[in-house]
Amino acid sequence: MQIQQIQNSQTLEVLKNLISYPSITPKECGIYAYICAILPEFKALCFDKNGVKNIFLYKDFMESKNTDSKVAHLCFAGHIDVVPPGEGWESEPFVPLQKDGFLYGRGAQDMKGGVAAFVCAIREFLDSNKAFDGILSVLLTSDEEGDAIFGTKYALEELEKLDLLPDFAVVAEPTCVEKFGDMIKVGRRGSINGKLTIFGKQGHVAYPNKCVNPVELIAPMLSGIAGFDLDKGSAEFEPSKIVITDIRGGMEVVNVTPSDLKIMFNMRNSTLTCLEDLQAYLENLLSAIPHHLELKQSSKPFLTDTENKIVQKMVEVLESQNGFAPMLSTSGGTSDARYFAEFGVRVVECGVCNDRIHSLNERVKITEVEALKQVFKCLLENF
C-alpha cells in the first residue's frame, strides 16, 4: 500500500481493509505487512511464538540529535485478532458493509476501529512534519482474544531485554458507553477463577444417617460465598465480589445423595484484595468440612495514577474535542493494558463505544472512528 492512499483522512478505508482480513485468534492474515506499508518510516521488530504473531513498530525522533538524556516513549497498542463471528449475521462478517452511518463487520469495534484510528493519526502526524520529542511506537498482537500468553505479555518481555519498553501507552480498546468520549479506562480489576469440591459419601436418601451429603455440608456456608464481597471497594473500584458460575453434583436422580459437589466461581478483584486473601478467607470458612480448593489468577488488577501525564493529556484532548470530560473508569473485563501496567508502563485505554463487541452484526459508528483518530492526532501534537 502506498502512503498517498490514506492521506486526506481516509480512516474509513483503512478500517474496511482491516475488517476484510479474517484474523480469528491467533491468525494475523497479513495485516502487519499492510500496516508497515502505511508507516514505512518506522523500524519493525517481530516477536512470534507458538503461532502468535506480534509486531513492534517504532521511530526515535531524537536519534539524529545525539542527545544523551532519556526521551519519552509513547506507544499505541492493540490487537488485530477477533473472536469467531458465529452464525446468524445479516451480512458477511469479513466483508465490511457501510450502512446508515455505521460500518458492519467482525472487529469493527473490538478493536480494528481503534487500530485504524491510531495508525491513521500517526500517518497524518508524520505528514504534518510536526516535532515529537521522543520515541513513538505501535505494538500489535494476534492473541488478545485467546490465552494472551504469547501476545502482548511476551512482546513486552522481549522489549524489556532491548531496553525499548514504553514510558506511556494508549490501548485503543472500545471504552465508551453511551457516546464517544464518555469514558476512558485508567485501570482494570483482576480476575481469579476458582473451583471448590466438597466431599461427601453417596447413599440412599431413605437412610440419611448412612450418607454424608455434601449439599448439606456447604449449605450453611453458601451465603458466605455466593455474592460475598471481600472488600468494600474504593473510589476507583467496585467491591471484590465472589460470583458463583456453576454448581453440580449427583446423578440427576431423586433417591441418591451425591458423593461430592463441585462449585465454580470467579472474583473480579480490585487492588484491595489478592488471591492470597481469597484463599485464606475460603479455607477459614470451610475448615470444618472436607474439601479441595483450586484458585488461579488469570489477570492482575492495576490502576494508573490519574495525575499522570498520559491520563491528564487524554482527558484534556477529549474535553477540548467533545466539550465534556470523560469518566475515569476501571469497569469491564480484562485487557492487555494489564501487561503494560505490570512492566511499569503508565497506561490508559481510549476507544469507540462498546455496545456490540463480540456480538452478531458488530458495527461501529463511522463518525466515532474519525473522532478517535482526531483525538489521537491531537494527543501526538500536544504530548
- Cell triple for residue 303? 490502576
Question: Are the C-beta atoms of 39 and 137 separated by less than 8 Å?
Answer: no
- Whole-angstrom distance, CA of residue 269 vs CA of residue 192: 7
- Cell triple for residue 349? 485505554
Please state, as a whole number, how many other Cβ atoms lie within 10 Å of the Cβ of residue 140: 25
**Selected catalytic residue, list 81, 143, 145, 336:** 81
Alpha-carbon distance values, 34 to 17, 92, 112, 299, 362 (Å): 9, 22, 13, 31, 23
Cis peptide before 111 (omega within 30 of 0): yes
Note if 48 is an active site residue. Answer: no
Note if 182 is an active site residue. Answer: no
Cα torsion for 171, 172, 173, 175, to the nearest 10°?
110
* Helices assigned H by DSSP within 207-308: 214-218, 275-285
Alpha-carbon distance values, 4 to 37, 44, 117, 119, 304 (Å): 11, 21, 17, 14, 38
What amino acid occupies position 110?
Answer: D
**Selected catalytic residue, list 144, 173, 260, 349:** 144
- Cell triple for residue 81? 485478532
Closest to 251 (Cα-Cα) out of 295, 320, 202: 202
Alpha-carbon distance values, 133 to 168, 274, 283 (Å): 14, 39, 53
Question: Are the C-beta atoms of 175 and 184 separated by less than 8 Å?
Answer: yes
Alpha-carbon distance values, 21 to 25, 126, 174, 255, 274 (Å): 12, 26, 19, 55, 39
Supply the residues annotated as catalytic: 81, 144
